Amino acid sequence: MSTTQSERLRELLEPLVTSQGLDLEEIAVDSVGRKRVLRVVVDSDTGADLDQIADVSRALSAKLDEDDAMGAGEYTLEVGTPGAERLLKEHRHYVRAVDRLVKFQLTDCGELVARILTVDDEGLDLEVPGVKGRKATARRIAFSDIDKARVQVEFNRKDKNEEEA
């Protein structure tokens, strides 16, 4: 997809997504055989439920039907939310990941897995889990020290209320 088409789609669709109380996170057009698939990823600070996804999908479909941004030919519109192991790119992504375990690739080629405690304009306050019975430690990293960050899925994490009981 050309940058021009991507920019045009974003300009066309972002106001509709925003009017639904969501953020437009990503747009991608992929070819699947002879068909094209337009994937739109949306999110909000509180997440997006199925009703919101359906509403924004109908609004985007109607707008795309009246505009030629996708050009001639068939395509499928898929609207969804970021996956469980989402890549953190924007400041708002880090804010939404507070209290989540994140794997960081640092600019000094190091790697760190830690829980985000707080986020401000300069960086993150983290809790680095202890190893082999050791206590967790606090750490601060600046956004400029982060090359990549991805949320990790936790299957057996205890709820704070369970830990306090």
CB 122 within 8 A of CB 143: yes
Above 50 in pLDDT, residue 164?
no
Taking only the tens place, the pLDDT of each residue in 61-103 is 999 988 877 877 888 999 999 887 888 999 999 999 999 999 9
Number of neighbouring beta carbons within 10 Å of residue 149: 23
Entry pTM: 0.73
Above 90 in pLDDT, residue 7?
no
The average pLDDT across 34-40 equals 89
Task: Give the pLDDT confidence score for residue 3 in this predicted structure.
Answer: 61
CB 151 within 8 A of CB 101: yes
Structure tokens at 41: 């990823």
Length of the chain: 165
pLDDT-derived band at 158 (thresholds 50, 70, 90) equals: low
